[in-house]
Amino acid sequence: YAPVCHKRTVRSLEGDRWLVVDYLEAKEVHRYSLHWLLSDVPFMENKNSIHLNYGSRVYEVQTGMTEGDGKFSVVRADPNSTRGWRSRYYGHKEPALSLMLEATRCHACFWTFFGYEGDEVKAEGNTLWVNKAEIELDRS
C-alpha cells in the first residue's frame, strides 16, 4: 500500500451540532472509505444522508466531498459480511447502522455533519452552509 497522509478536524457548531472534516492525500490513486458505525435505530436514508429516529428527536448525519462524488451506502446487519454489526465484547455481535462514503482518487476531502432533522446543509467546493452559516473547509 502507498502511504496516505490523513488529517481530521472536528468543529463544534451552534446548538450541539458537529462538523468533521477528513483530508486524505497520497501520491498514487487510493480507495478511501469514510465509515461511521451508528446505533441501530429506525432510520430513513436520503441522498448522502441518514435520519435517525430516537423517538423524541430525529438526528441527521450527512456526508459529502469537496470535489467529485463518492459512492454512498447504508447497511444494517449484513448476514454475509461484518458490515452493519457491532461487537461490545468478544464472540457477540448485534445490529448497527454502517454509513459509508467511498471514493477512488489521489486525494479526497470528506465532510460529515451531525445535526438534527430540518437542518439545512449545502455544499459548494470548499464551502459549506449549515443553516445559512458559511463555513470554509480549509486545512488549518
- What pLDDT was estimated at residue 139? 66
Q: Residue 140: pLDDT above 80?
A: no
Please count the other Cβ atoms lying within 10 Å of the Cβ belonging to residue 76: 14
- What pLDDT was estimated at residue 89? 94
What is the residue-averaged pLDDT of the chain?
96
Q: How does pLDDT run across 42-95, given as a tens digit for each residue?
A: 999 999 999 999 999 999 999 999 999 899 999 999 999 999 999 999 999 999
Q: Residue 34: pLDDT above 90?
A: yes
pTM value is: 0.94
Decide which of 3.30.1640.10, 2.40.160.40, 2.70.98.70, 2.40.50.1070 is the CATH code for 5-136: 2.70.98.70
- What pLDDT was estimated at residue 81? 96
Q: For the chain, how many helices (H) and strands (E)? A: 0, 12
- In this structure, is the dihedral angle defined by the CA atoms of residues 3, 139, 99 and 15, taken in order, positive or negative? positive
- What pLDDT was estimated at residue 138? 78
Q: What residues does each domain of the chain span? A: 5-136
